[in-house]
Structure formats: C-alpha cells, structure tokens
Structure 1
Amino acid sequence: MKSVDKNQDKGNNQREFKLLWALLPLIVMIGVMLYTVVSLEQGPHIPLIIGTVTAALVALKAGFKWKEIEEMMYKGIRLALPAVVIIILVGMIIGSWMGGGIVASMIFYGLKLLNPSFFLVAICLICSIVSLAIGSSWSTMGTIGVAGMGIGMAMGISPGMVAGAVISGAYFGDKLSPLSDTTNLASGLTNTDLFDHIKHMLWTTIPALVIALGIYAFLGQNVSGNIDAAQIAATSSVMQDSFLISPWLLLVPVIVIGMVAMKVPAIPALVIGAVLGFLSQVFVQGDTITAAIVSLQEGYAIETGNALVDNLFNGGGLDSMMYTVSMTIVAMTFGGILEYSGMLKSIMNQLLKLIRNTGSLIASTIGAAFLTNASCAEQYISIVVPSRMFANTYRKMGLASKNLSRALEDGGTLTSVFIPWNTCGVFILGTLGVGVVEYGPYALLNLLCPVISIIYAFTGFTIAKIDDGGGGAGGEKEPTEVKTELQHV
C-alpha cells in the first residue's frame, strides 16, 4: 500500500498523506515520550529526536528528497528563532536581577504586603493587569512571575499552585490585550476586527477568570494554616543581610514593563532590563564587574546558610536556558517536518470530516489547535494552520469569523502551556522552574476557557451568525499578509 496519494497542493511541496502514515510520527513520539519521561524520568529531547527521525523516514517514503526534508526542519527552527532570543535574554535578566537585588526587593516587599490567604488571588490579578497592559505572557512571567514564585515559596505555598496562578494571570492579558501578538494574529488571519475579536473572547475569558479566582481563594484558605510566620521572618532577615533592599530597585521592572507597554520591541526592552540589572549588581550591591558578568552568563550564586533563600536566589543566567533552547530547537525540527510535508494538513482534513454541526465544528477547531501545539510545538502554528483549514467551513455554515478567531485562541494560545515540549511549556520550565505536571492542574484559566468555549458551541450561547453583524467567516488573508510581529514578547 502506498503511503501517500499522488496529488500535491498547488503552490507548495506538501503531499496528501494517508491518515495512518500522517499519525505515525506522532504515535511514535508520544509513545516514546511517555516511556522516557514517566517510566525512566528522563527529559523529552530524545523522544522528540526519535519522532523527528520517524517523520523524516515517512517523508522519504512519500517521495521527498533529503534536501527538502532538511529545509523543512530549518523552516521550523527559523520560526522559533525569535523565541530562542527571548529565552536567552530572560535568562540573563533573571541572573542580573537576582545579583542586583531586584528580585530580593520584590520578594521582600511582597512578603510585607501580601496576605498568604489571598496570595494566589493577588498574584493572578497582578499578572492579569500587567499582561493586559503589555500584551505579553512571557514578559509578565519573566518579571512579575519570577518574583511571585519567590514570594509564594517563602510563604510555603506549593510551587505548582503559584506557577498556575501566575500562568492564568499572564495568559489572561496575552489573550485580551490589543498589544498581544497572538490576539492580533488570530484576528488578522480570520479577517476579524481586532476589537470585535477581543469582545467576543470576553464571554469565555471572564467567566474562566472568575471561576479560577474563586478556586484560588479556596486553595489559599487551605494553605494559610500551614504558613510558618517564623520562617517568613527569618527569610526576610536573611535577605536583608545578603542584599541591599530598596524600593528604588523596583523601578527596574517598572521601566521594562513600561517600555513594552509603550510598544518598544521586546528584545531591546529585555536588553535594557539586563543592563539595568548588571548596573544594580555593580553599583548598588557593590559586587565586582566580573561577578556581574558571571551572573549574566552562569547565573547568580549565593550561600547564606538558609536553604530557602539559597534555593530562591541561585539561578538564572544564559547557561540556565540552554536546556530550554535545545528543547525548542529539537521540537521545531519535528514540527517543521509535520507542517511543511503536509502530514499535519492530512490529519486536519480528517478532522473536517467529523463536523456535523456548530458544536462539532468549534470543538474540532479547538482540538486541532491543541493537536498542532502538541505536534508542531509552537503556539503560532496552532493558530495559523487551523485558521486556514477551517475558515471555509465557518463561512459555509454561516458563522461569523469571530467564532473562529475565539476558538483559535481558546484552543491554541491557552493550551500551549500544557505541552512540555512546546515553546511555551519549555519557557515556563526555564523561567519559573516548574514543569507541566506540577502547574498543569492549577493553570485554571487555561483549562477552563476551552471547556467553556465548547459548552457555548453545543448550546449556541454567544455563537454569532454572519447575519448578526459578526462579519464574514474571513480566512481570506495569507499569513504573510498579517502585519503582526511574530515574536514572543
């Protein structure tokens, strides 16, 4: 039996694969991943490489030349290069901000101001406000999120809970801010007015946030009884002895967040943040230039005798992000072959055959976005591919384009954090130091939004028709026509 049909898409080199052959690389990768990560407790790199080799063999069997397969991998890697640069810079920021006493100042004052019972609610709301202002989940997690993790751990709260609350807040703004790259991408690819898109997303995002905050409040009441006040006092005292704590140092994250909010590109803003951290370590903390450079490269190191403080402030640096960078590159080689060979498109075509009504259409869109996150390991592809595949179906069923754009965000933007090898999953691991298994159950906004969206789809609630003034089904634009900067900010 032949592995592919002979017909090819016009204008590109993709082929139409038989479903089993298209799924084979995913089946192999996920099977090896489960065994390696769960049973052997090893990292996901080797399973991804095995998946890449399997995808390459399937592509060779389909008639692709090796040079073409290489180019597919390179295309996948090129798509992730902006994310790689951001990951490296965030590592440098964390190292310099730890050495500069900036993180210590944020944690010190956070411990003074935040009540343990309502900490999860507070950190989620703070991250929501910051990410809404700057439109960036990554920048929010790399600044406010890092400090939030430190405060929560000092209070004795589970790292998974804290990370989940941080992620929920960070992705609230990433989803609803008009400055967000994914928000602009989803509206642009579906030819939906940006603010119509945002208003339509409120129906799923606001209820999800309210439910999440209620659960965080409940969890906070349960954990508050385990808080050791003496430990918090001891931690604060050790930080004061180890760093020069000053409210002026809080200006550094304010400056960086302000620059991003004023639409300064992410990379220059993060570079300035790292420079300010470097200067703080030299001129405020009184360390040598050599020590400050080591913080940027290798991360900050300190020995205070207090295990919690040492755990909080040993880390960061460019080197600490190499695990994340390598995983991103390996994952994108796998995703590149699946996307550019046509395997992913073949899987999507089979999903289209399952559609019978509005409910199944929107559920399939969300499922396709999640599948793309898992297979191609990149949040942007999870929006681009389903938008092109489902646009005509939405139009034929008389559904407004904002239904599609909302489903893309609910299924693509938000679920990326649940894939350990997705660029978002590896960024969170490298930045917050917590893996998907730990934070997944507590990333409540990200869990609830897709569920609420599917419920709406099957009940018809908030589902807009073209005749309702919701706009056409869109999908007329190609990705190259969308004037959105495709980088994580």
Structure 2
Amino acid sequence: MTMEQREKRRIGFFMAILPLIIMIIVMLVTVVKLGQGPHMPLILGTTTAALVAWRYGFTWLEIEEMMYKGIKLALPAVVIIMLVGLTIGSWMGGGIVATMIYYGLQIITPGWFLVAITIICAIVSLAIGSSWSTMGTIGVAGMGIGLSMGIPAGMVAGAIISGSYFGDKMSPLSDTTNLASGLTGTDLFDHIKHMLYTTIPGLLIALGVYGFLGRRFADGNINMEQIAQTAAVLKDSFLISPWLLLVPLAVIVMVALKIPAIPALIVGIILGFLSQIFIQGGTLVSAIEALQSGFVIETGNEMVDALFNGGGLDSMMYTVSMTIVAMTFGGILEYSGMLQSIMDQLMKVVKSSFTLITSTIAACFLTNASCSEQYISVVVPSRMFTKVYKKMGLHSKNLSRALEDGGTITSVFIPWNTCGVFILGTLGVGVAQYGPYAILNLVIPFISIIYAATGFSIVKLTKEEMEEAEKEEKENIIEPIHAKI
C-alpha cells in the first residue's frame, strides 16, 4: 500500500468519535431511562463504526477481521468468566460458600464488616494477583455475609471491589501489573514501588470511609435476630464444616504458587462438585445441574434462597455475550485507526507533565469506555504516550503508574466494560449501585492527577537515561493474551 493510499484511509477525528458518541447517547437512553441491557447500544455502535470504516475505504472482509481480532483478544477472559460461573455453582452446591458465610457471620461484626472484607480481599488478591478470582470466590461469600447483616448491596460490593483491585494493581503476579511495566520498559518492582504513592493513600482513604459508613450498622440498627436466623438456616440446609474451607484455600495457594489460574479454578470446580455429592449428599444429576444451570435450593428463608439460587455456566452467558459484542466494537475502533485519531487530538493539549499525565489517565478511561476491555486501556495508551514521556524527560514509571491509575482502576465504572459486566454477573450488583462505594477506584485517579499538578513523586530522567532513551527507538507492542482473572 502506498503512502497516498494510506492517507485516503485515515479517519478524521469527527468521524472517528461519531460511533462513540452515538453509542454513549443510545446507551444512556437504553440503560438509564429504559432500564434495558447495553447489548443493543453496543451493536448500534459497532454498526456505525463499521459504516464509517467502510466509508473510508476498508472492505467488509477487513472490517470483519477487525471484529474477529477484538473478539480473539477477549477469548481468554471469556474462558475465565465461564469457569467462574462453574466455580460459583459447584461451591454453592458443595456447601463451600455456605460455610464461608456461616463462619463469617460468627466472627465479623456488622460495624467493621466493610473494613474487614476490604482487607481480606486485598490480602487475597495481593497473594494471587487476581481481582476476578477474588471477587468470584471470597467476594461471593462476602456479599452473602454483608447482605445477611442488612448492609446495602452497593456498599458491600464497593468494599469487595476496592480490596480486590488493590491486589490486582499491586501484586507482581497480576497480569495488568506485568503488562503496564512490560509495555513501558519499566522494571516490575520499580513500577510496583512507584504505585505505592497513589495506591496506599487510596486504600487508607477507602478504609476510613468504610469505617465511617460501618458506624451506622454497629449500634443496634442491625437485626441480630435475622443474622442468627440466617446462620441457623445455613446449618440446617448444609453440612457446615471447617474442612470445606480447604477448597478455596487450595485455589488461593495454587495461584500463589504461580500455577495458572485456569487449572487452579478447574481444581476448585472439581472439589466443589465432589463436595456436593460426597459431603452434602447430593445426587450426580443435581451436581451436574448446579454446574450447568446453577444451584437450586428452597429453605423457606427468602434471603438464603436469594443468595444460594444461582451460579452455573448459564448464568454467565449474559456476560459472555456482552463481552463478545463489546469487543467487536472495540476491535473496529482499534484496528481501523479511529481510536488513534481520537488519541491524536488528546495529544494536542499536552504541554507539561501535568497535562501529559492527566491526558494519559483520561485516555485510559476513554479506552475503557470505547473498547470495553481493561487490557486495551493499558495497551493502546502505552503505545500512544511512551515516546512523549521520553521526549519530555519523564521516567517510564510515571507512565506505567498512570496506565494503572487510569486504566486498571477505572474499568469497573463502565457498565459495558468486561470488568463491569463481570462484577454484575458475579456479585449481582450494577455500576449504579456499587460505583459510589468503590472508594479506592474512585480516589486513585484523582490522587495521581494531584501528584502531577504538584510534581510530587514525578520522576525525571537523568542525563544518562535521556541519552540511553534516545538510542532506544523500538516500540514494545505486546498483545494481551492472558485473561483478566
């Protein structure tokens, strides 16, 4: 292809952003006003993007290839989503979730529950490097405990998300942590140390807010009789045993030992399946049904029935279809050059380290919203800004931190992003409910921007590093091939 032909295929800013504008407007009307799912707005956005790409000279076969590339990027995440559905079904039927909730009700007081669940999720996710696995296991049990205590679902989910994303951001085992450091050429542990400046204050603020919110549940406003009744129903409906806690512990230990998450989750599914048959006394048919369509139980207690009727592969099909539709839209935006055109406009406002870091965070959030995938929100802005940071004499760890502060963290606030969809499918709570209470995720981007404005913790390149950077003209482009787990 000649340079002249390339110029003819370049999509201008207005036409590049048009599909995104249409999608967001229709999304707001469909989801917020009409109360419907986000699938149709995403399909309309995909159709608009395809028409724009076709108008600028791309053939239908090329547009199809863009969509397939987008879907391919999400396939590992789709596998994890399905495995989490199987895990929840088998752990519900095996009494594992019931056991975690039962003992949680015994040892965690309502007033400190939000603080406790945040810390527990932070420790687990730090050990295994996985927000999704943490939310799909510890988080599900945490939702049950919190709801049993009468704490609003949004608060509980927000605390679980804050803790889960602390470890996802800070663990050396995390995919996004390794991706951000690798794409920017930053030493992994330098990257993690640099993130301490924004993440630790974010966690402390979150714990402070949760401690304040928990005060209203600590002075008798909670129906302790309901908690006792829930615990009694669990004991009557399941065989509760501390030995069942070995199942989630086994999964956590395997992932901490760097066993890939997929085989670790499969082991957890098998153990849950066997627990339902040999410990809970279920039949082979009921155990298979729990894996396929979810666990079903009728205790007569409305809250317990609501908590334990669910899980299974079928429960994740909404999430899977959402992920596939979202990634067809993101694929066209990415591979047609529309996203590049939008990012180019952002670059025009970059005049200082403050505007550069702020633009990076904004670009990550925009990518989360437009491409619907957390990985792309790290990959695409890293491609855009790496050379700019070097040109302005800023160390690469400033960029790697901004990528995580703006990309990894903010993905949960986009209802059609794979992370937002996963949380809805796993915890049963939507962005509108948990968004105001995902405190860590809310405050970290603003902390990062404040640092950029004041210059605090912004590291400049030395003269020697500048000279070395000038010799390195290669771009480190890595496609994300591991699922968000």
Interval of TM-score (by shorter of Structure 1 and Structure 2):
over 0.9
Contact 1:212 1:445 in 2 (8 A): yes
Runs of at least 5 residues in structure 1 that lack an aligned partner in the other structure: none
Query: What percent identity do the matched residue pairs reach?
Result: 71
Query: Where does residue 24 of structure 1 map in the other structure?
Result: 18
1:285 to 1:402, Cα distance in 2 relative to 1, 3 A = same
Aligned counterpart in structure 2 of residue 380 of structure 1, from 351, 375, 379? 375
Following superposition, the deviation at residue 436 of structure 1 comes to: 0.5
Alpha carbons of structure 1 residues 461 and 307: separation in structure 2 relative to 1, 3 Å = same
Say if 2:140 is the partner of 1:146.
Answer: yes
Which residue among 84, 87, 97 is the counterpart of 1:90? 84
Distance 1:289 1:52 in 2: 43
**Structure 1 CA distance, aligned partners of 2:28 and 2:36?**
10
Q: List gaps (5 residues or longer) in structure 2.
A: none
Matched, 1:338 2:336: no
Alignment partner for residue 462 of structure 2, among 461, 464, 467?
467
Partners of 2:390 and 2:416 in 1: CA distance? 34
- Indicate how the Cα distance of structure 1 residues 133 and 476 shifts in structure 2: closer, same or farther if over 3 A, else same: farther
Cα distance change of structure 1 residues 252 and 31 upon mapping to structure 2, 3 Å threshold: same
Task: Report whether the alignment pairs 1:262 with 2:260.
Answer: no
CA distance in 2, matches of 1:255, 1:133: 13
1:110 to 99, 104, 114: 104
Q: Secondary structure at the match of 2:10?
A: strand
- Residue in 2 aligned with 1:401? 396
Q: Deviations over 1:245-295 (max 9, x none)?
A: 000000000001111111111111111111110000000000000000000
Counterparts of 1:345 and 1:438 in 2: how far apart (Å)?
33
CA distance in 1, matches of 2:160, 2:401: 22
Q: Which moved more, 1:135-144 or 1:216-225?
A: 216-225
**How far apart in 1 are the matches of 2:428 and 2:473?**
38
Q: How does 1:47-196 map to 2 (within 5 A)?
A: 47-196=41-190
Alpha-carbon distance between aligned partners in 2 of 1:307 and 1:364, rounded to the nearest angstrom: 48
Q: Aligned partners of 1:371, 1:470: CA distance in 2, in Å?
A: 31
What SS class does the counterpart of residue 462 from structure 2 fall into? Answer: helix
* Cα distance in 1, alignment partners of residues 462 and 431 from structure 2: 42
User: Quick one: structure 1 residues 85 and 264, their matched pair in 2 at CA, closer, same or farther if it must change by over 3 Å?
Assistant: same
Which residue of the partner structure matches residue 307 of structure 1? 302
Partner of 1:321: 316
Aligned-pair CA distance for 1:209:
0.4
The Cα of 1:7 is off from its aligned counterpart by 6.0
For 1:227, the equivalent position in structure 2 comes to: 222
Letter in 2 for 1:173: G
Note if contact 2:169-2:404 (Cα within 8 Å) is conserved in structure 1: yes
Aligned CA RMSD, in angstroms, stands at: 1.6
Cα shift at 1:356: 1.1
- 1:33 and 2:31 matched: no
Distance 2:222 2:353 in 1: 48
State the 1:15 CA deviation.
4.5
| Moved segments of 4+, more than 6 Å | 468-475
Task: Indicate the residue corresponding to 1:424 in structure 2.
Answer: 419
SS in 2 for 1:479: coil
Aligned length: 479
Give the distance between the partners of 2:151 and 2:94, measured in 1 at CA.
25
Separation in 2, partners of 1:415, 1:79: 19
TM-score, normalisation: structure 1: 0.96
Q: Which amino acid aligns with 1:116?
A: P
Change (3 A) 1:48 1:457: same
Report the TM-score, using the length of structure 2 for normalisation.
0.96
1:364 pairs with 2:362 = no
Deviations 1:192-223 (A, max 9, x none): 00000000000000000001100000000023
Q: Structure 2 counterpart of 1:292, which letter?
A: A
Q: Give the structure 2 partner of residue 391 of structure 1.
A: 386
Asked if residue 348 in structure 1 is aligned to residue 343 in structure 2, the reply is: yes
Alpha-carbon spacing, 1:359–1:7, altered in 2? closer, same or farther (3 Å):
farther
Letter in 1 for 2:435: G
Task: Determine the C-alpha separation between the residues in 1 that align with 2:282 and 2:178.
Answer: 43
In structure 1, what is the Cα distance between the partners aligned to 2:105 and 2:370? Answer: 41
Q: Matched residues in 1 for 2:54 and 2:66: separation?
A: 12
Q: Given that residues 191 and 477 in structure 1 are in contact (C-alpha distance below 8 angstroms), is that contact kept between their aligned partners in structure 2?
A: no
- Alpha-carbon distance between aligned partners in 1 of 2:413 and 2:4, rounded to the nearest angstrom: 36
**2:234 counterpart residue number:** 239
Q: How far apart, CA to CA, are the structure 2 residues paired with 1:122 and 1:331?
A: 34
